[in-house]
Structure 1
């Protein structure tokens, strides 16, 4: 009995620290909940009687039951923040963007020394930026834009050497913008629309400083005029000089030819093109030769994929880092260098954990290249349909994470980039997987960026058959709802493992369009037949039905009836799907009763040809 008692004490001592930590963090988050106004009850699960906050919605913990993420972006919250948040010592992501939170930013946030991302943009915060934020030595993303912050920019922020993205625009900040430390490479876009800021990066000189003077324009020297009496002599002298130069250059030419015969060409023989001195934020500017060497001369053996914007090559930099190099087609930069620089800078500002991070670029008179991190696990499409036998299939929990992660990435492009970015080719092949099999949306921003209030009309439809929304195909007009349609098809790819368009299905008298094939099986009540055989029976049927419901809502014929990606995120998190699905069922029943179904396109590539009965899938249980 005494042995059991000792063992119990030891177990208590082992688990007590984690229990106490969770309790302290739970108390802090509950204090936050009390001070926030929550009209949509997104914090309903934050129950103070549950000691461990790891079971709460919008809270993520590590294996030691310590909070590492708080995701409350775009939740229509108001109120103010509390200093108790400073006890979340392991917090890495604090996402409170796009709410209506007021008051000052607590200085205690400077205690969150593991913080990687602080997103407080699009709120109503007032007061100064806390000096204590300079202690966040691991911070990479700091976005405080679109608030009402005042005062000067703390010099302490320049000490954050890890800082990659900074956005302080659209506030009421004043004083000089630091230009040392981590601030030395940030561009005016990070500080825009702060009328009282001054310094070189703002184009407004500070009081007492000399006015900025642009560099003098380059004027080529005038051609040297040669007197007529020296024309023949000059030509002879020039010919002799050229002959001598060729004679002395012969060994070098022979050496270069020999090097080209060598199997490991490192491009000593490739004429270098001048890279313009262009700096875009903290993006690295690669030389063309550097990327040629990294990709073995853009060798076909290093091609990772081909797309409408060009080819992607695997490369290894001089330091051993693996990268993916996208070599853009010339047609993708019709506006020349300035447009390319503008679009690259906008792409670089789109930073989210579920978006492929642009690492650098290369620009020469004839080449445009973008450099991204290499994703060793490939794309969702390759994992579904091209995986080697030694690689296990994607399990159901991983597929759910991919669905939610990619939805979050697209939602960020639509709602939190200004101007918004429309992807225009959402598909499984463009959803990449990092080392933890988290979804990373790639290939975004390469189509023209879209102004917040305007739709984008193109002369050529960009996209992939089976993923293209019907209105985009018929009108050439894209919007965020065309991305929603493509995302819905991608969800069906995740569930079925099949291609969005596959002529092989004709062999079984099935539909070549995945959407029609799925709807046909659901109409025949054959839910189990559409599930990817690789999943076998290792999935929750209720969860599967819910994901199918989201996919069908996203692929409705009318773009007006499709949800926004932010709503898709909420539905996948379990918020609002039942209501949206019930509403859709009622509309479908009404259409059947009064024969108001929309006219169907005769072209089977354009649109779906099936109408589901409203009772095919039950609502969330």
Structure 2
């Protein structure tokens, strides 16, 4: 077969017409004007006709017809995949297809591509078999019109495009057996199945999508675009569970009977602290809890830990704040013995935050213990515990600040004597006179003589804050701000060389001074 193909191609390329070829063709047309090449238009292309005779000769030999080259009734190339595509490529042969050819069989050759339109030049053909191939695309129904003698057609087992061929006259001329598994016929059973799937599947798909979107909205709104997130401060149990890796013990940083504190990471990478309360509260209490959280979420100051939102589960409620891992002021005072300049900077941040809350959110109460105030970057204090309280508790807030101020200045041993009993510490401080308190000042502070005035002034102000016996002696928050602000501004001015340092050794122009 391969030899034949090579011979055909070689013949077409290398052979030349014999000298009498033109005369022979002309005589043939005179004897038999019905020959297809005799009626070709425009004028006869003798080179193409010569090529046609070579191919026709091979096909005639393949048909084992004793009348070759003049006539052979069938082109039979089924089951010959190496030769069939070659002959289909010879357009000139099909153009001059011998009138004797009545049957064409190219079946079972695995040929690919569109329908071979060149075979339509053989208008006399009665049988055409292109089955068991891989032809694709549309079946050119209109092109079959010239094939008036065609009585047998087999296009089965191909991959033609599905069309409404069964409704045409072309289909009625043959029958469904000509198009079995051709891909051209509409499979009504398959169509019915598709229709059922569409009619049943589409509503199910819509329901599933609604359920999925509902789950996103109510369980994981953090997956939605921010513009579609209804509750900016509302967290769901599913979000918290994901943020804490399923409330794992690895993320549990604190625990009591009713409160669990977790460290978590939200989907956008924000690190958070989650305080979960497992106590049962009434419906009214829960509504108050939500209202409080809404207010606390609106607080915005550099010296306040940011409340990001809240959560209400079936078994717990939670408050979510930004994660601050820095140490508390209490630890800072105990470990590093900071200078007066650094301590007054922390006091300045606290009093600024108090002024902000007093002016913007007077209903917010807060805890000013050194154990609950945290230190962030650049010694910025952060008030971390606050809640909605009584608007008229300004006296209580100033008293808290006085105690905080004394804790910032006095020696740690004084506070340790009361073992965290704030009421006892404040009561004891109220019994002391200023000279007695000055002896308790933390000696680790680097206090210059220039700053000594401010230290004493701030200390006296702290005593006034915790003295609740006389309303006239109670300083206002504005007064506290002015005193601390003045001390802070003077502290950031570097001391000159001739300044003397309190508690320093006698060296380099400095001398040691004790509070007496």
TM-score of the two chains, using structure 2 as the length reference: 0.43
Larger Rg: 2
**Structure with more of its chain in helix, by fraction:** 2
